[in-house]
Structure 1
Amino acid sequence: MPIPDVRLLVLDLDGTVVGDDNRITSAVKSAVQTVRQRGIKVAIATGRMYRSALRFHRELALTLPLMSYQGAWIQDPHTGVQHRHWPVDPQRALELLDYFEQADLSPHLSIHFYLNDQLYVQEMRPDTDHYAQRTLIEPILVDDLRLTLAQMDVAPTKVLAVSEDPEIVERMLNTLQKRYKKSELYLTRSAPIYFEAANPQVNKGVAVQYLAEELLGITPDQVVAIGDNYNDLEMLQYAGVGIAMGNAPLAVQKQADWVAPTVEEDGVVTAIKTWVLAG
C-alpha cells in the first residue's frame, strides 16, 4: 500500500537499480520518469565515487544533488555546488593502512584511497582491475599511499579495502568496530567483498535527512528509500518506507519495511508501482 504523500524517492545504485551488467534497464528508467512526472523528486545515494555515479544521475535525468561516497560527498551536478564534503581524518586513514598491511591481511587486500574524487592505489591487483572496469575509473598508481597523502595535504573522502574472500572482510569489520567508536569512524560493507571506512558523521541516512529536511523541507514519512546492502540500512531506517531488494542480505531484508524482487528482476519497478505510484 503506498504512503499517502510521497515527496522523495531515494535510490541506491549497485544491486538496486544497476545490475550485474552495470546498466540501468529501460523499465527502471521508465518507472523513474513516471515518478518524476508525478511531481515526486528522485535522488541517488551511493557508495560510489561522485564521478562514477554521475553517468547514472544523467541517465535518469535527475535534478537533485547527488549523494556519493555514502553521503560524504554531496554535490549538485547542474550547478557544481558542493553541499557537503566530510572526509576521513588523515591520521585515522594511516591507522587503517597500518592495519591492512599486516602480514596476515596484506596478501588478500587491495587498498583504495579516494582523494579529490580520484582513486589512488599502491598496486594493481585483479580485484582493483575489476573495480576500475565496473566504475569506469582509472586508478592512479603510486609508490606509497602515505607519501601521497602527505604530499597532497588532503584528507581522503573514503578508504576502501577489497578482498575476494568475504570472510576476511567480515573479520576486519568485527575487529575494527571494536577498535573504533562510532564517533571515530563509520565502518560498513557496501558488498560482501568491500570494507569501507568514512567520516563518523557519514552514512546514507544522514545524507538523505539533509536532502529531505534541509534542502527540500519535507519529513521522513514523505520519503521512500530503496537499497540492497548494509551501507543502506541507515537510510532505510530513516525513510517512511525503507525497501530492501530481494538480493539484499537477509539481515538487511529483516530491517526493511518491505522486500522487493531482485535487481535482475527489476525489483525497483515493482517497488515503485507498489509504494509510490499505486492509488
Structure 2
Amino acid sequence: MIKLIATDLDGTLLLPDHVSVSDENARALRAASEQGIRIVIASGRTHEVFPAGVRELEFIDYALTSNGSSLMIFDTKTGEPKEQRSVTEMPCDVWNFVYDSMVSAGADPEVYACGKSFMDAEMGDRYGSGLLPDALVAELKSHITFVDDVKETLVGKSAEKVCALTVPEENRASLMAVLENDGRLEITSAIPGNIEVNLKGTSKGRAIAMLCDMLGIMPDEVMAFGDADNDVEMLKYAGFSVAMGNAKDEAKAVCRYVTETNENDGVAKAIYKYAIKPE
C-alpha cells in the first residue's frame, strides 16, 4: 500500500515549459492526498524557485529541496512552509571552492543558501541566454536574489548547493575533473548541460529516507517519480520507483516501472494505475 508519493519537478511533474503542472497531474496528486497519501516534492530547486503552479498545490505535505539538502514541512491548510530542517550543508570554504572553480571555467553559478538562490548581478544578463525559452528564463530570474558579490553577501555562511545552468563546452571536462577530484562534493545534473554540486553524501534518497524514518513509513510504501541523475538515489530507495518516459537511461535502469513522459501526464497515469484505491 502506497503511503507516500515523492515527485521530482523538472522533467517529471512539470510540463516541458519547466513552469506548469498539468490539470491531470494536479488532480491525481490531490486524489492521492485525499486518500491519506503524503505528497512530497523532491527537487534540485530551493523553495523560493518553485514555480507558481507548484506553490498553488496546497495539499503538499513536505518538500526535499536543493537535491535533498533541506526538508520543508508545509501547512496543508495554507500551502505555506511552516518549518525547514537542514539535512546537509556545504561549509563556506567548500562552496567558495566550487564557486571559484565554476567562475574560472566561464560559468555563472548560483548559490542556494538560507532557502534562497543568490547570483552576482553582473551575471544576470547572461543567465540562460540562448539556452532556454525567454519566458522560462524570466520566471527563473524572478526568484533569484541578485547581489553585487555573492561571496561577500554570504561570507561565513554555509550553502545548500552551488549550480551552473550551463558551462562552456570547451571547459566542461576540465571543470568536472577539478570537482570530481575533490572528495567533499556530490555532483549531479538535473537538466541537460547543467552541473549541480552539494556536500558529499547529499541526495534525495538520503533525505527521503530520513523523512520516512520520521513518519514510520517503509521503503516499499513509497512511490517516487524522477527523470535525471539527481533522482537516482531516491528511485533506488522507493519500493515503487517510476521513471518518466523521457527519463535518462541512468534513471530508467534503477526503476521498477516506466510511465508516460512528463508532457503526457506520466505522473498522473502511474498514480491512477498503482497508488489510488478504486472508488
The answer, yes or no, to whether TM exceeds 0.5 is: yes
Hey, what does 2:25 align to over in structure 1? 28
- Of 78, 89, 107, the match for 1:87: 89
How much has 1:256 moved relative to structure 2?
Answer: 1.5
Hey, what does 2:154 align to over in structure 1? 149
Q: CA distance change for structure 1 residues 247 and 63 in 2, over 3 Å: closer, same or farther?
A: closer
Distance 2:186 2:69 in 1: 11
TM-score by length of 1: 0.85
The amino acid that maps onto 1:91 is: D
Distance 1:39 1:155 in 2: 36
Q: Does 1:113 align with 2:111?
A: yes
The amino acid that maps onto 1:73 is: S
TM-score by length of 2: 0.85
Distance 1:155 1:230 in 2: 24
How much has 1:10 moved relative to structure 2?
Answer: 0.7
Does 53-62 or 218-227 show the bigger shift?
A: 53-62
Q: % of aligned pairs identical?
A: 26
Give the match's secondary structure for 2:32.
helix
How much has 1:223 moved relative to structure 2?
Answer: 0.5
Distance 2:160 2:250 in 1: 27
Give the match's secondary structure for 1:275.
helix
How much has 1:212 moved relative to structure 2?
Answer: 1.2
Hey, what does 1:205 align to over in structure 2? 205
Q: CA distance change for structure 1 residues 115 and 169 in 2, over 3 Å: closer, same or farther?
A: same
Give the match's secondary structure for 1:87.
coil
Distance 1:31 1:44 in 2: 14
Contact kept, 8 Å, 2:6 with 2:225, in 1: the verdict is yes
Contact kept, 8 Å, 1:223 with 1:241, in 2: the verdict is yes
How much has 1:180 moved relative to structure 2?
Answer: 2.2
Distance 1:44 1:168 in 2: 33
Distance 2:53 2:88 in 1: 23
How much has 1:73 moved relative to structure 2?
Answer: 1.7
Distance 1:242 1:94 in 2: 35
Contact kept, 8 Å, 1:173 with 1:188, in 2: the verdict is no
The amino acid that maps onto 2:166 is: S
How much has 1:197 moved relative to structure 2?
Answer: 0.9
Does 256-265 or 36-45 show the bigger shift?
A: 36-45
Q: CA distance change for structure 1 residues 225 and 111 in 2, over 3 Å: closer, same or farther?
A: same
- Of 67, 74, 77, the match for 1:77: 74
Hey, what does 2:191 align to over in structure 1? 191
Contact kept, 8 Å, 1:110 with 1:125, in 2: the verdict is no
Hey, what does 1:140 align to over in structure 2? 145
Q: Does 1:19 align with 2:20?
A: no
Q: CA distance change for structure 1 residues 167 and 231 in 2, over 3 Å: closer, same or farther?
A: farther
Distance 1:264 1:170 in 2: 31
The amino acid that maps onto 1:51 is: E
Q: Which runs of 5+ in 2 are unaligned?
A: 76-80
Hey, what does 2:78 align to over in structure 1? none
Distance 1:251 1:186 in 2: 16
Question: How far does the alpha carbon of each residue in 1:205-258 deviate from its partner, in whole angstroms, 9 at most, with x for none?
Answer: 0111111121x1011011010011110001000000211111111222122211
How much has 1:166 moved relative to structure 2?
Answer: 6.7
Distance 2:103 2:95 in 1: 12
Q: How many residues align?
A: 265
Contact kept, 8 Å, 2:29 with 2:39, in 1: the verdict is yes
Give the match's secondary structure for 2:10.
coil
Distance 1:165 1:247 in 2: 25
The amino acid that maps onto 1:29 is: A
Q: CA distance change for structure 1 residues 259 and 278 in 2, over 3 Å: closer, same or farther?
A: farther
